[in-house]
Amino acid sequence: MGGFFPLDFTNFPSNASESLLALSCDLDPRLISMFSQEEYGLDYFRDQGFHRKKCECCGKFFWTRNEARKTCGDPPCDPYTFIGNPVFSKEHGLDEMREHYLSFFEGRGHTRIPRYPVVARWRDDIYLTIASIADFQPFVTSGLVPPPANPLTISQPCIRLDDLDSVGRSGRHLTTFEMMAHHVFNTRQKEIYWKDSTVQLCDELLMGLGMDPMAVTYKESPWAGGGNAGPSVEVMIGGLELATLVFMDLKATPTGTIEIKGERYSKMDNYIVDTGYGLERFVWASKGSPTIYDAIFPDLVRKVADLSDVEHDLSNSEYAEIFAQNARLAGMVDVDAYSMKELRTMIAARLGISYEKLEEAIAPMERVYAVVDHTRCLAYMLGDGIIPSNIKAGYLARLVIRRTLRIMKELGLKPSLEGLVREQISRLDYPDWQERMETISVILAQEEEKYAETLDKGMRLVRKTAQSYGKKGQAFPLTEIISLYDTHGIPPEMSKDAAEEAGVKVELPDNFYSLVAKTHIKAQKEEEAAPQVILEGKTELSFYDHPFDESFKAEVRDIIGNSVILDKTLFYPEGGGQPADHGILEKGGLTFKVVDVQRIGDVVLHAMDGDGAKAFQKGDHVAGHIDMRRRLAHARHHTATHLVHDSAKRVLGKHIWQAGAQKTETRARLDISHYKRITDYELRAIEMEANRRVMDMIPVNTKFMPRTEAEKVFGFELYQGGVPPGKQIRVVKVGSDIEACAGTHVTNTGMIGTIKILRTERVQDGVERLEFAAGEAAVRAVQEREGLLIESSDILRVPMDRLPKTANRFFEEWKGQQKEIERLKEDLAKTQAKSLVSEAVAIDDLKVIAKRMGVADIDELIKVASLLAEMDYVALLGSESGKLVAAVGKTGLEKGIKAGNVIKAASKLLGGGGGGKPELAQGGGPKSEMLEEALKAGVDVIRTGL
């Protein structure tokens, strides 16, 4: 096994920019030269006898103990050599390797901290956790809040869907991986450790695993991204990048003295050791298996292969070599730059086998690998509480679900997706996930069902779309395939099949899913409604300390437009789904209405009614009075929202997450993530639970806390309403509900009085809306509903408790009577038709009836005329109100008489129009006094038509 690559890969687009750490990018040579010997010339390298060398292949600098070494160790300069030739002395599984890593750093003064969820609840810019440093952005890395521990070590599960389509194919790509890391947050006042210790710790870790000290290279690789930059080294062994060590010490600032790519940088006061060690790659390197998948979950790969009837025998060296060569080649080149076919052709040539034989061996296993990887990804996504939907992280979960289902179908894999995810969950040591498995089962079964429905419905739509491109002689564009997926959930493979069926050219890229995922990975920043001006000064917010004070005294600081700025205020500015307070400002005995209150930065603007602000001047002493009825109504609805949310969680499950909320004086609404419609039974249970919390008279506790501490104590569940900015966050605790919230609340749930849920609505797939009223508004809502009952029982003249029965009886009777009326109308029409027969006149051999039908309605005219046509008459019937219907029987139709023409001529005389089919038409006009003439005109058309 093994075998060195004789091919020269130096001219292939390489994967060199693909780094373990996120946000890395190709850099300007100026930056590279700036991060020179002085940045990398570490004492540790010198003491250990490292040499700094320039790669003969790519020209980049690297550090090695091996003086004879000529290349940097990074593909394509060096190929994978670890396959079949492990770089560590002992094989390790995932759990073993993770534990080894974490205890290594724990033993060297680092605090081990628990992993963060894969859904980045503490971020508003990304949905999924993509790197361990993401856990600490933006507030810890910016220096605003302290880290949870310092230095720390963590193994953070990360999900990246950028290379979704390469998973399984390249032998190394994964959607889900654990980034093991040690992080240090240094300040100029207190440095914990920096480059030397970082490299030393890494080197010792690797040697402890039995690495040959001569084998490792540390490749200089300056890093920049997301407004930060710094020197970094990639840690290469056997052609595999095992880790990246970044020394983040620059930030982009307009006044910076270091220029990189037109952007100015300066040294940061807080400088960070940001490392990333790929757990799965460590395991792979320890085993040297042909693919990473065979290294990290060999038993699951075997199981899925067996279930799919795919032979997978790595002890057969010829067979194993196919996968090894595939992984080596994919390791050397940028897989995105080639089609699958091109890559396969290269590998087949290397192995000296036919393309078909290669395809036969490799294609089914690629699917097996992808299924194993994707179900692990889903275990993390659903275990951490993502609900599949069409938005945000839910969109990404559904994308992975559908791709997995598609691949399972291609494999003919029998067991359900749910079974495979359950298997993955049972292997991961997160006790609360077992508890969630019931919910996850329901979600997955439902997603499978929805997908099947989509395929059923989608086929017709996609065929129609394909045909319309075919008619225009155009190719089926990629944008259309993406839109069919996005809007209708139609998988791209299906669009491709339909296009080919319709003979339409189609270009489906190998990386379709990655392309789609990429457009949904980053959160769209919501447009800010408030004007982007910066106001000087600060208004003290007194309402937090004195939530029920009605009046206050303050000094006018400024007037901007029609708004007054005070030094302090009791007025709550609009925010967090809670509207602004209203009230009055009083000056010298005169009062002026406050109609809106907004906060910009630290300043509160009191918008005055009319041109009220003109009455105020800087330095005025004023009194403010809050409309307490309005404030209290808001506070009741706000606290009630927290209670309803908490109750929904109790009733529906822990996966409930707030997707939006809005409060007014009379109503509140709460949007929650949920995978199905809320039933009436559940709704009543939620309402009862919420009201029990009211009756329990639970005190509402609010407290400003340091962010890190609050997160540590309460978890990210805090961020139901979004992630507030700042060092301190306000934590509102109502019983078991704990949220970061800036709103005004009642002090005890008893003050809410009552909560009445009024309705639910599916706002979109995966999001349910609850609309409810609290306090007086709830009583009023109940009264309104009761009013409807009273009114109804008055109308029906029965007591309220008999309303349903009575309404039902009336409805049934009414339905019976409707049927009876229909039947009588039929009878009547038949009788009328029969009686009209005697009035027919013969025109040639055609029997024609033209007749005034009194006050008959249009339905009656149509019925009678149609019956006459059935009996082979030509009928033209008119009502006194000016409506006309013509019907032509078999003979008339044969002779070319058209009911439409008859109606047109007749209606014209009535000053109107009409039309229809040859056998039946209708029309009429306002001049009903001309009915007789109109009928004659109709008959004339029949006569001249013959």
Site for Zn ion, rule CB under 5 A: 55, 57-58, 72, 77, 741, 743
Nearer to Zn ion, 497 or 574 (CB): 574
- Could you tell me if 595 and 630 are in contact, meaning their C-beta atoms sit under 8 angstroms apart? no
Instruction: Indicate left, alpha or beta for 221 from its phi (over 0: left) and psi (-120 to 50: alpha).
Output: beta
Nearer to Zn ion, 715 or 816 (CB): 715
Nearer to Zn ion, 193 or 548 (CB): 548
For 301, residues 6+ apart whose C-beta sits below 8 A from its C-beta are 293, 294, 312, 368, 369, 372
Nearer to Zn ion, 72 or 181 (CB): 72
Cβ at position 785, least distance to Zn ion in Å? 27
- Closest-CA residue to 880 (of 930, 939, 830, 937): 930
Cβ at position 65, least distance to Zn ion in Å? 17
Nearer to Zn ion, 57 or 508 (CB): 57
Nearer to Zn ion, 547 or 878 (CB): 547
Cβ at position 583, least distance to Zn ion in Å? 22
3-state SS assignment for residue 847: strand
Cβ at position 654, least distance to Zn ion in Å? 19
Rounded to whole angstroms, the Cα distance separating 72 from 59 reads 9
For residue 575, the number of C-alpha atoms closer than 13 Å in the C-beta half-sphere is 18
For 690, residues 6+ apart whose C-beta sits below 8 A from its C-beta are 640, 643, 644, 646, 647, 755, 757
Cβ at position 24, least distance to Zn ion in Å? 16
Rounded to whole angstroms, the Cα distance separating 93 from 136 reads 28
Cα–chain center distance at 830:
62
- Could you tell me if 689 and 650 are in contact, meaning their C-beta atoms sit under 8 angstroms apart? yes
Residue whose tokens read 């109100």: 881
Nearer to Zn ion, 165 or 739 (CB): 739
- Could you tell me if 593 and 626 are in contact, meaning their C-beta atoms sit under 8 angstroms apart? no
Nearer to Zn ion, 182 or 663 (CB): 663
Cβ at position 232, least distance to Zn ion in Å? 16
Cβ at position 76, least distance to Zn ion in Å? 8
Pure H helices in 54-191:
94-106
Q: At what angle do helices 628-652 and 680-695 cross, to 10 degrees?
A: 120
Residue 555, amino acid:
E
Cβ at position 235, least distance to Zn ion in Å? 14
The bridge status of strand 152-159 relative to strand 111-112 is parallel
Nearer to Zn ion, 743 or 878 (CB): 743
Rounded to whole angstroms, the Cα distance separating 361 from 341 reads 14
For 165, residues 6+ apart whose C-beta sits below 8 A from its C-beta are 510, 511, 512, 513, 514
Residue 880, amino acid:
E
Cβ at position 493, least distance to Zn ion in Å? 39
Nearer to Zn ion, 646 or 768 (CB): 646
Tokens standing for 21? 């750490």
Tokens standing for 371? 């299924």
Helix (H) or strand (E) holding 906: helix 899-909
Nearer to Zn ion, 707 or 883 (CB): 707
Residue 194, amino acid:
W
For residue 251, the number of C-alpha atoms closer than 13 Å in the C-beta half-sphere is 9
Nearer to Zn ion, 68 or 788 (CB): 68
Cβ at position 354, least distance to Zn ion in Å? 34
Cβ at position 73, least distance to Zn ion in Å? 7
For residue 558, the number of C-alpha atoms closer than 13 Å in the C-beta half-sphere is 10
Cβ at position 327, least distance to Zn ion in Å? 20
